[in-house]
Amino acid sequence: MSVADLARGESGKPHTGAATLPDERLPRVWQALDIPGIADVHVHFLPDRLQQRVWSYFDRGGPLLGRPIPVTYRYSEQERIRRLREMGVLAWTCLVYPHKAGMSAALNSWAIKFAAEVPEAIPTATFFPEPDAGRYLQEALEAGARAVKAHVAVGRYDPRDALLRPVWGLLEQTGTPVIIHASSSPASPFTGPGPIGEVLAKFPRLRLIFAHAGSPETAGFLLLCARFAECRIDLSMVFDDFLGQEGADPLWFRSQLRGMADKVLWGSDYPSIPNPVAHQVTRLLQAGFSDDWLRRVLWRNARELFGLQP
């Protein structure tokens, strides 16, 4: 069965509305594309107490969200791991992030320990603008961290803060990929392509992966990708009916994506997402991209960036 067939319903017509592939059929997509599985660069695992607080915030629709967001994968840690494996996710990041000073070092230790126990997990660290940020990030990288998460909106910090200069310098020097939420959804005083663009002007070889394709300021973040060779985007929550692609014309956006296949990475924002992972995959399959483009975005780009083995 071809990928085009998988994106269609039992009637042979494209899925519409709520009708999408179920998660258990996702391995058939990878088989049709002749790839061993996928890599998801936007997956969150957190210490359980913190994870429960995040889910409570999603339930309330706190100020940063604006409305409640249902959580599809509200399961135990082991169950969430099992479901990723069954979907054929061969590698995923373990994204942790602080909302205040004094959290990052402990989160880094937790994430690196988690990845040591879960073979598919890419060890991931984080940071906050504080005097010892450079030191504890260096320690995390030496302990095995291969990716870094930065969340400008939740942390409400200025990425141009002088306390972060050692951090950006270290990340540029080591070539460590940084999955960064710098766009204004949610908005904070320092989100948008402007502030992080100033950081890139000083550290032009940073390997930044702009979460959610920079939505809702997609055009501005795609310009940064065009200007800086090592910048990329992930597609987490972009092809989802709940939120969708904000701030860009869909036809223009898809045209841009076709022309930057080597700079696009798959991400889902698992587990705190309003629809199943397969919902986003189905919408991506329906967007008209070539099989070769899909292979690069779903597996090969991450394989090359992180040195993954199937």
- Residue 154 belongs to what H/E stretch? helix 152-155
Residue 18 pLDDT exceeds 70:
no
Q: What are 171-215's pLDDT values in tens digits?
A: 999 999 999 999 998 778 899 999 999 999 999 999 999 999 999
Q: What is the pLDDT of residue 15?
A: 45
Which whole-number Å values give the CA distances from 74 to 55, 173, 197, 282, in the listed order? 8, 38, 36, 22
For residue 212, being part of any structural domain is answered with yes
- For residues 73 and 271, is the Cβ–Cβ distance under 8 A? yes
For residue 205, being part of any structural domain is answered with yes
CA gap 86, 23 in Å, rounded:
8
Average pLDDT over the chain, rounded to whole? 92
For residue 52, being part of any structural domain is answered with yes
- For residues 159 and 196, is the Cβ–Cβ distance under 8 A? yes
For residue 10, being part of any structural domain is answered with no
What average pLDDT does the segment 26-53 reach? 97
For residue 156, being part of any structural domain is answered with yes
170 phi/psi in degrees, rounded to 5: -65, -45
For residue 187, being part of any structural domain is answered with yes
Residue 77 pLDDT exceeds 70:
yes
- Domain CATH number, residue 52: 3.20.20.140
Most confidently modeled of 5-9, 33-37, 186-190, 245-249?
Answer: 33-37
For residue 7, being part of any structural domain is answered with no
**220 is in which domain, residue-wise?**
26-276
Domain count, the chain: 1
Residue 85 pLDDT exceeds 60:
yes
What average pLDDT does the segment 261-266 reach? 98
Q: What is the pLDDT of residue 115?
A: 98
Residue 150 pLDDT exceeds 90:
yes
Residue 8 pLDDT exceeds 80:
no
Coil/strand/helix, residue 305: helix
For residue 293, being part of any structural domain is answered with no
Coil/strand/helix, residue 105: helix
Q: How confident is the model at residue 3 (pLDDT cuts 50, 70, 90)?
A: confident
